[in-house]
Structure 1
Amino acid sequence: MNKISAKQQRILDYISAFSLEHGYPPSVREIGAEMGLRSPSTVHAHLKKLQDAGYLEPNDHKSRALTPVRGPSMMPRVPILGRVTAGMPILAVEEHVGYVPYEPAAHGGAYYALRIRGDSMTGAGILDDDLVIVRQDTEARSGDIVIALLEDEATCKTLSLTQDGVWLLPENPSYPPINGEGCQILGVVKAVYREY
């Protein structure tokens, strides 16, 4: 791909982010407003350069729409749906508060992210205020780190299936195991995302 200007890179980043969030690319007017470009013809000139350089391609389903060619600026993202405890369970609150990049989301499956509150999973490398990427699933294997719902409270723990029953185990000796009989598995933790 050919070299592009800093402004064209900003336009490309904006188109990519907008497309990921809305499912369709922004209009020329929206690009102009975001970039502080008053003239639609200036926006069209930048879009033509991005297309000629191989960064944008026509969208077969929409006339005049250009979509980014898959690349680093088109990293799949998953929604952040609120918080969950790594401590004693708290009331599960679902609130869409943003996105986090996660490449495997492009290969199918439903994923979401939750912000961790507490320190019961530090032994597994999950710290207070980390984001965990969760694959939505109602089944898990013993040893999986899961998001489990106990009545109306959610927690992040290691699932243990034994002859004695179902247990939700903390990865911090300061916390006791939780009897998980009757819990509902909401998903399996697949990754940790730490913002610094």
Structure 2
Amino acid sequence: MLTVKQRELLQFIDDRLKASGVSPSFDEMREALELKSKSGVHRLISALEERQFIRRLPNRARALEVIKMPENAVSAAAPVIGTIAPALRAQVQMAANDTIEIPLHGRIAAGTPIEALQGTEGFAVPAALLGPGEHYALEVSGDSMVEEGILDGDFALIRKVDVAREGEIVVALIDDEQATLKTFRREGQMVRLDPANRMYEPQRYRPEQVRIQGRLAGLIRRY
């Protein structure tokens, strides 16, 4: 028998996979379930794996597969409103085939920073992938975030914010000229932008050099 939080997480993963084919990130799972840390997500994932509701796909960062659902589980078409966290409730209430068009602002480097983003094409996104707030999309260029499951050619869905919390994956504009997708950290008086690929080194900047342009809200991958 699953706990309430285990059920919530399993439902969230299943709905996200059905909507986009891509597993949610640990930060997205933590936020959706209103957990204080990613360690809580890891414990829930391990419990679901032990009970054979999900499995981790080998050689793919962050990739999960739902093997089965509880007999009384519900999908996004019929959510149990009273038993799930508000952030998760807002997502599962949306039908997976509803789409929203958001701006597509060119390509962003997941490796070395590139020139500031340009372009304002439209990009259709499943509504279930977006929470509250204003969003835009970026095409990922590079491989420095592969260990977070962010691959070259993916489309990153970014929620517009101008502040970042420790450990969030953000779009950072460097010296008002170059933009990059990295994990935000503070290191003493400096801002550190961490890659998720051991082949790359962290990037360090003075706070006045860095402007936060948004944080990662989801991913879309085309095959």
Offset, 1:191? 0.6
**Correspondences of 1:103-122 after superposition (within 5 Å):** 103=127, 108-122=132-146
Q: Which amino acid aligns with 1:183?
A: V
Correspondence list, 1:10-159, <5 A: 74-103=98-127, 108-151=132-175, 152-159=177-184
Partner Cα separation in structure 2 for residue 73 and residue 189 of structure 1:
22
| Deviation readout 1:5-63 (Å, 9 max, x if unpaired) | xxxxxxxxxxxxxxxxxxxxxxxxxxxxxxxxxxxxxxxxxxxxxxxxxxxxxxxxxxx
Q: TM-score, normalised by structure 1?
A: 0.59
Q: 1:184 aligns with which of 193, 201, 211?
A: 211
Question: Is the contact between residue 147 and residue 188 of structure 1 (CA under 8 Å) also seen in structure 2?
Answer: yes
State the one-letter code of the partner of 2:203. I
Q: Kindly provide the CA deviation profile for residues 70-90 of structure 1, in whole angstroms up to 9, marking residues without a partner as x.
A: 966642232211110011001
Q: Structure 1 stretches of 5 or more lacking a match? A: 1-69
8 A Cα contact 1:105 1:111, kept in partner: no
> Which segments of 5 or more consecutive residues in structure 2 lack a partner in the other structure?
1-93
TM-fit CA distance, 1:138: 0.4
Number of the residue aligned with 2:200: 175
CA deviation after TM superposition for structure 1 residue 104, in Å = 5.3
Identity of aligned residues (%): 35
Q: Structure 1 runs of 4+ off > 6 angstroms? A: none
Secondary structure class of the residue paired with 1:173: coil
98-107 or 124-133: bigger deviation: 98-107
Q: 1:136 to 1:115 in 2, by over 3 A?
A: same
| Residues 1:106 and 1:116: Cα distance change in structure 2 (over 3 Å) | closer
Change (3 A) 1:102 1:130: same
**Structure 2 counterpart of 1:122, which letter?**
V
1:106 Cα shift? 6.8
Deviation, 1:107, is 5.3
* Contact 2:193–2:202 (Cα < 8 Å) also in 1: yes
* TM-aligned CA distance change 1:73 to 1:192, over 3 Å: closer
Look up the SS of the partner of 2:118 in the other structure.
strand
Q: 1:100 to 1:150 in 2, by over 3 A?
A: same
- TM-score calculated relative to the size of structure 2: 0.52
2:185 aligned partner, one-letter code: S
- Structure 1 residues 125 and 105: CA distance shift in structure 2, 3 A: closer
Larger Rg: 1
Higher percent of residues as strand: 1
Is the CA contact 2:135–2:158 (under 8 Å) kept in the aligned structure 1?
yes
| 1:163 is the counterpart of 2:196 | no
Q: What is the one-letter code of the residue matched to 2:146?
A: T
> 2:87 maps to what in 1?
none
